[in-house]
Amino acid sequence: MSKGFTPSPATPAVITANDLRMGHCVWMRDGGWTADPREAELFEDEAIAELALLDAIAQANVVVGPYLAEARRGPDGRPEPTHFREAFRRRGPSNYFHGKQAEFAQSEVEASNV
């Protein structure tokens, strides 16, 4: 959640929202959007994060409700969630194999078939 933290090297952030047309979760990368949270851009500077958030808000014809979500840099350098809500958004619901978890499994299957 965006409340109560400032993006910094110690508390990095990602910018996330929902896709306007389809509704699924998306993350900001290079000023655009990716459906893969592992590809999200990590913001470690408050001013840059705020500017990027303004840019995200301006893309109201693409996404809904962008916000800064606290994250951390994982062992592979990719962003990881710090709060369980963001972890669920990245994964999908726990009662079915739905959402991102299913999409990623599918993309990995497709990748391995290449």
Partner 1 sequence: MFDARPQHNEYLRHRAQQFRQQVERRLDGSLTEDEFRPLRLMNGVYLQLHAYMLRVAIPYGTISPDQMRTLALLAEKWDKGYGHWTTRQNIQYNWPKLVDIPDMLDALADVGLHAIQTSGNTIRNVTTDAFAGAAADEVADPRPYAELLRQWSTDHAEFQFLPRKFKIAVSGGKKDRAVIAAHDIGLRLVSNDRGELGYQVWIGGGLGRTPLLGKVVREYLPEADLLPYIEAIIAAYNLSGRRDNKYKARIKITVAERGLDVMREEIEAEFQRRRQAFTGADQDLLAALKSLYAPPAFRNEPEGDYEERRAANPAFRSWTDTNLSAHKQEGYASVTVTFKAPGQTPGDASAEQMRLLADLAERFGHHDLRISHEQNVVLPHVHKSDLFAVYQELKAAGLATANAGLISDIVACPGMDYCTLATARSIPIAQDIAAHFRARGLEEEIGKFNIRISGCINACGHHHLGHIGILGLDRAGVENYQITLGGDGYDIPAIGQRAGAGFPAEEVVPAIDRLIDAYLELRESPEERFIDAYRRLGVAPFKAALYPADA
Residues lying near partner 1 in the complex (CB under 8 A): 18, 20-25, 60-61, 64-65, 82-85, 88-89, 92-96, 98-100
Q: How far is the CB of 64 from partner 1 (least distance, A)?
A: 6
- Between 84 and 112, CB nearer to partner 1: 84
Gyration radius (Cα) of the chain, Å? 14
CB 68 within 8 A of CB 53: yes
- Between 1 and 48, CB nearer to partner 1: 1
- Between 45 and 82, CB nearer to partner 1: 82
Q: How far is the CB of 82 from partner 1 (least distance, A)?
A: 7
- Between 7 and 92, CB nearer to partner 1: 92
**Three-state secondary structure call for residue 24:** coil
Q: Which among 49, 63, 60, 59 is positioned nearest to 20, based on CA atoms?
A: 63
Q: How far is the CB of 107 from partner 1 (least distance, A)?
A: 17
Task: Give strand ranges (E) for 30-113.
Answer: 32-34, 63-73, 79-81
Q: How far is the CB of 51 from partner 1 (least distance, A)?
A: 21
Q: Which among 82, 114, 96 is positioned nearest to 5, based on CA atoms?
A: 82
